[in-house]
Structure 1
Amino acid sequence: MSKKQLLIVAHAPSPNTRKLVDAVLAGAKHDDIEEVETRWLPPLETQPDDILKADAIILGTTENLGYMSGALKDFFDRCYYPVLEEKQGLPCCLYIRAGLDGTGTRRAVESIVTGLRWNWVQEPIIFKGEWQDEFIDQAQEIGQAMAAGLDSGVF
């Protein structure tokens, strides 16, 4: 039996946003999770085939002018139609690194994900305001929860 595939598509343009990606990866690769393979791809490098191979996806973006990063928007622009029919029901979650409140970013991503008919497995997490070290623990929990859900067959 092959391992389930967890794909992380996250924009990480700064050292702190890279720390978030690393924390999500660490959580997803927890020792208790045995049947899940996890990989991270920056949005500009992600292709429709990467999504077609995925059993679940974690999206990560910065808040840019009250919207998702241009890189994540590019990802959706390129991948939306090639995966639309085949990946309906794909378990997904989202985290946002927001200097402000992240609500515009959240709304924009949720609108696209609704169109794709992917299934939210948890509420989006918004890391608001000044950088806080607690963001790392929360990001790790996101990765671990998603991988554990795949590993146990919950989704």
Structure 2
Amino acid sequence: MSAKKRLLIVYHTQSGNTGRLADAVLAGARRAAETETTMLRAFDAGTDDLLACDGLLLGTPENFGYMSGALKDFFDRTYYPCEGKTTGLPFAVFVSAGNDGTGAVREIGRIANGYGWRAINEPLIVRKEITAADLENAADLGEAMANGLSMGIF
């Protein structure tokens, strides 16, 4: 029997909205018992966590049309130590946005491209107030990623 695939969720939250989405993503991912899922705040995640995962979900609030400083810090701390070691890593993004969220998504995509990662889903952008449907969409994202990893799709 092969080892479980590892899904890493890295997120930052200030107001709590992205944290609510991250909790839903984690709950969805844990529906797939065949995948080991870990969730860490961006300041707590590091190189070892990134190198040990088979898939990555990134969550951030939209701050001034950009990702959070904490998520950018995660990228700054892991990029060079992981350079060339995570090429092809499947990833997806979820954003809690006060505006449209596209700036955060665009810049995360540019950085992910530098790592050589592979986007496996359209970004989940939740604008303004988070609804029950948004939380279910977040859970579906987590479940889809976890199942995709366990089945070898990603």
- Shorter-chain TM range is over 0.9
Q: Secondary structure at the match of 1:149?
A: helix
Is contact 1:11–1:72 with CA below 8 Å preserved after alignment?
yes
How many residues matched?
153
Map of 2:6 onto structure 1 = 5
Task: Extract unaligned runs of 5+ from structure 2.
Answer: none
Report the Cα distance in structure 1 between the residues aligned to 2:27 and 2:131, rounded to whole angstroms: 18
Q: Is the 8 A contact 2:12 2:59 kept in 1?
A: yes
How far residue 22 of structure 1 moved from its aligned partner, in angstroms, is: 1.1
* Structure 2 equivalent of residue 130 of structure 1: 129
Counterpart position of 2:45: 46
Q: Give the SS at the match of 1:12.
A: coil
Structure 1: segments with no counterpart, 5+ residues: none
| Partner Cα separation in structure 2 for residue 81 and residue 54 of structure 1 | 17
Structure 2 Cα separation of the partners of residues 2 and 13 of structure 1 = 35
Q: Percent identity?
A: 48
Output one character per residue of 1:76-123: Cα deviation in whole Å (capped at 9) or x when no partner. Answer: 011111112111000000011001001111111111001111000111
The answer on whether the counterparts of 1:101 and 1:129 sit within 8 Å (CA) in structure 2 is no
- Residue in 2 that maps onto 1:150: 149
TM-score (norm 2): 0.95
> Structure 2 CA distance, aligned partners of 1:111 and 1:2?
31
Q: Given that residues 17 and 96 in structure 2 are in contact (C-alpha distance below 8 angstroms), is that contact kept between their aligned partners in structure 1?
A: no
CA distance in 2, matches of 1:59, 1:16: 14
Query: Superposition RMSD on alpha carbons, in Å?
Result: 1.1
Runs of 4 or more, structure 1, over 6 Å off, are none
| Paired residue secondary structure (1:37) | strand
SS of corresponding position for 1:75: helix
CA positional deviation for 1:15: 3.2
After superposition, the C-alpha distances for 1:23-68 in whole angstroms (9 at most, x for unaligned) are 10110010xx232100101010111110000000000000001100
